[in-house]
Structure 1
Amino acid sequence: MSDAKPTAGAGRAPMMPMEEALERLLSQVTVLGRTESVSTPLARGRVLAADLVSPLDVPPYDNSAMDGYAMRAADVAAHAAARGGEGAVLPVSQRVPAGSVPKPLEPGTAARIFTGATVPEGADAVLMQEQCEAIADPAGSGLGQVRINGPLTPGLHIRRRGEDLRVGQPVLTAGTRLNAASLGLAATAGAAALTVAARPRVALFSTGDELVLPGEPLGPGQIYNSNRTTLHALLLAMGCEVRDLGIVPDSLDATRAALRDAARDADLILSSGGVSVGEEDHLKPALEHEGRLDLWQIAIKPGKPLAFGEVTTGGGRTWFIGLPGNPVSSFVTFLLFVRPVLLRMQGASQLAPRGLQLAAEFTWTKADKRREFLRAKLSDAGGLQLFGNQSSGVMSSAAWADGLIDLPPGSTVQPGQLLRFLPFHDLF
């Protein structure tokens, strides 16, 4: 998983700003265009591929927002006036539970009603039961009477037909990444299934003879392959189908064979490690044989080296992204570059994360010429705390953190300074 820096030279190109690198990626990757129908409860995290339009008004009828009594406000005012300003007393003419069809409200009466029940025709207000007093009939029969003990105005506690959705109104637009609330809205409109973008097919592998799978014994000079697990989990969180090709040996022939194998049925090939220009980094010559490759030096920390290209053997084209091998570098560059590419492939309308402006609770004096992404946690007071070791090899910093601080080049930080924070819960 070498991240060795290329030898500096007079003709070496300057580091590329992150925005430029991302623009180059997104300008070349296209929407896959494959769609499928998925049961609405199972569509969380998927990208909607077709607008959902409401076939009905929601709610479909005026209904009560409270348990109480439905009545006419004018009747209450008239009865109160007739009683010399004392609280009006109305006979109860019907009982309306949710799911029933009420009769029109008889003039001068009230209807006992429950939350969600249809408001009877003629009623224009509902008074909650806590502001009413039920009075039994003197003869002990019928539905009794109700004393009005609270103020009443037309429209009180009535949810009007269509106040949430109207027939023909767009409910959700294509490109929306579906969450629990949007699925609930779709169900409100009666959608049992949704047309969503098909899952991107991603082939994943790591390079490096020093890598060993967790559970196997470590030999001299070997380390466990954490990137495989991290990237696999991130790909699943992004709604991908993942084919794990494991660890590819450090040889040109093995790397070329892995690329050809991956290109058979993948939309994207993702690797970690081997994206530098050391003697044991074989991705560059392998991609040059099997397609094309650009090696970029991005002006970010961690994660400077990034590779992008395509495998064209077999007549098709499969995109390739190579991430650095250091675990935090791989993790961060996935979030910054692979995540928006996967969203673009699915036709998502929102590719960039939405940052928060939060106050620092630390001091940072080590200004860097690159744009830095620092691992930080939210404090109980709502500020940002910094992990002590920001090395690209310390994965515990990412596991401890709640997100990344997006720190501009050349920046230092003092307590109380507002910083742009990218929460992990919005990134994956």
Structure 2
Amino acid sequence: MNTSPASDRNLQGITGCLSDYDPEALKVQQAQDIMREYIQPVCGMEKLTIRQALGRVLATDIISPINVPAHDNSAMDGYALRGDDLVDVQKLSLEIIGTALAGAAFMGAVMHNQCVRIMTGAVMPAGCDTVVPQEFTSKISDTQVKLSAGNLHAGDNRRLKGEDLAIGKVAIRKGKILSPADLGLLASLGIPEITVQRRLRVAIFSTGDELRSLGEALEAGCVYDSNRYTLYGMLTRMGCDVLDMGVVRDNPEALEAAMRSACENADAIITSGGVSVGDADHTRQMMHRLGDVAFWSIAMRPGRPMAFGKITSAGKSAYLFGLPGNPVAVMVSFYFFARQALQQLMGADVPPLPLFNVKSNADIRKRPGRTEYQRGILAMRNDGEPGVSITGSQGSGILRSMSEANCMIILHHDQGSIAAGEKVSILPFEGLI
């Protein structure tokens, strides 16, 4: 694909570079590539204490102001000695001249055939470059210890100054979504505050005359809207600020008003329903009216009707993800398309989701020519290997199947039916859903 900056090109310019571009049957990888090339991160930063920064996107590189560790120190409890005292003999006897504790260094100098009792993390005494573990020694008296020289080499069990992180080096790169370990690393460097990207604002609404919100009466032919609640949960878990605009009725005027309001108040908009080819499905037409549309159908199941583009209102613009209306299709299209796009919009540097290959416990029917996502349960088989089974009926309206599943089975575009025992790609839900 053309890699010129998206800011210099519109969606038509990007899609025009695809030789086999078909907006009504785009391959999964093509759709993901279009999003990746087009989306640009939002501007805006804020300074937070590290206690507030968990899950936020780092806006600038963190440069280490100190060496970690700050001094050569011991990697274990034992005795610090001079490496050149190790000779090719069975036993070596050393004089104990002091003790070094973490936070309380031994201040004297260590001469030949002398050692210092040392604890893990304590600064290495002057002249010492080696630590013998306590279990490889036998104490002769309070002032003398014997060790087996054959178990040790000069420089063993010593952590060097700056070994973990040298002063002036990058400790954490911008774009990282900060984890608990990152907070600990920042604290270890004495850094109390950092600059992060501002939170992403995402507007959501569902479309359909048959939808009712919780608390409303459920007339014949109507259903409760579940999509806004799954979207709210997924977006909240990503650290987004969510603007829930409720249910929008199936008429162009109401949809245009909702899209314009969302566009003027959010960085991205996620709709569910209204992107197929029915007479009352107006989302795609409204996207064309208000902006650019890259595609509106993907060769996948579930989730084939999905639109992506950018709309503008009152001088403001927002990326728009028009997801299908069926509950499972909403979750699938969110996790395999919208999630990574939103992370890019946040300014996060996130690699593709890791897939694992495991054995299928049963036959799975599949025809080539589309990517299929099936709900699966991953567990250990009787042969001691991991195996996966589908959750039963794979209808895109069966939300219970997503609740029961612990992984997604991915059957790739050119792949055919799977025989029992054959390996398939899976994406575990832990940490994702």
TM category (shorter chain) comes to 0.7 to 0.9
1:59-90 Cα offsets, whole Å, 9 max, x none, are 11111111111122443649xx6xxx5x4333
CA distance in 2, matches of 1:126, 1:39: 39
Structure 1 residues 283 and 123, CA, compared in 2 at 3 Å: closer, same or farther?
A: same
**What is the correspondence of 1:246-265 to structure 2 with a 5 Å cutoff?**
246-265=246-265
Match of 1:62 among 72, 94, 108: 72
2:222 matched residue in structure 1: 222
Q: 1:109 Cα shift?
A: 2.0
Aligned with 1:25: secondary structure?
Answer: helix
Give the fraction of aligned pairs with identical amino acids, expressed as a percent.
Answer: 38
Aligned with 1:88: secondary structure?
Answer: strand
2:388 corresponds to 1:387? no
Aligned with 2:154: secondary structure?
Answer: coil
The 10-residue stretch of structure 1 (406-415 or 260-269) with the greater mean CA deviation from structure 2 = 406-415
2:144 corresponds to 1:145? yes
Q: Which amino acid aligns with 1:160?
A: L
CA distance in 2, matches of 1:288, 1:152: 73
2:63 corresponds to 1:53? yes
Runs of at least 5 residues in structure 1 that lack an aligned partner in the other structure: 1-11, 138-143
8 Å contact 1:62–1:160 — kept in the other structure?
Answer: yes
8 Å contact 1:256–1:287 — kept in the other structure?
Answer: no
Q: 1:224 Cα shift?
A: 1.9
CA distance in 1, matches of 2:26, 2:49: 43
Match of 1:91 among 54, 74, 95: 95
2:177 corresponds to 1:173? no
Q: 1:120 Cα shift?
A: 0.5
Aligned with 1:317: secondary structure?
Answer: strand
Q: 1:352 Cα shift?
A: 2.4
Q: TM-score, normalised by structure 2?
A: 0.86
**What is the correspondence of 1:11-410 to structure 2 with a 5 Å cutoff?**
15-75=25-85, 77=87, 85=90, 87-107=91-111, 108-137=113-142, 144-149=143-148, 151-293=151-293, 296-367=296-367, 369-380=369-380, 381-409=385-413, 410=415
CA distance in 2, matches of 1:159, 1:41: 29
Q: Which amino acid aligns with 2:54?
A: R
Q: Which amino acid aligns with 1:147?
A: K
Q: 1:106 Cα shift?
A: 2.8
8 Å contact 2:81–2:110 — kept in the other structure?
Answer: no
CA distance in 1, matches of 2:61, 2:136: 44
2:426 matched residue in structure 1: 421
Q: Which amino acid aligns with 2:174?
A: A
Q: 1:295 Cα shift?
A: 5.4
The 10-residue stretch of structure 1 (91-100 or 362-371) with the greater mean CA deviation from structure 2 = 362-371
2:14 matched residue in structure 1: none
8 Å contact 1:353–1:426 — kept in the other structure?
Answer: no
The 10-residue stretch of structure 1 (60-69 or 212-221) with the greater mean CA deviation from structure 2 = 212-221
CA distance in 2, matches of 1:417, 1:184: 43
2:8 matched residue in structure 1: none
The 10-residue stretch of structure 1 (196-205 or 25-34) with the greater mean CA deviation from structure 2 = 25-34
Q: 1:294 Cα shift?
A: 5.5
Structure 1 residues 290 and 367, CA, compared in 2 at 3 Å: closer, same or farther?
A: closer
Q: 1:301 Cα shift?
A: 0.4
1:82-113 Cα offsets, whole Å, 9 max, x none, are xxx5x433332111110113213332322111
> Taking CA–CA contacts closer than 8 Å with sequence separation of 6 or more, which of the two structures ends up with the larger relative contact order?
1
RMSD: 2.4
Aligned with 2:205: secondary structure?
Answer: strand
Count of residue pairs brought into register by the alignment: 405
Runs of at least 5 residues in structure 2 that lack an aligned partner in the other structure: 1-21
Q: Which amino acid aligns with 1:130?
A: E
1:140 matched residue in structure 2: none
Q: 1:196 Cα shift?
A: 2.3
Q: TM-score, normalised by structure 1?
A: 0.87
Aligned with 2:361: secondary structure?
Answer: coil
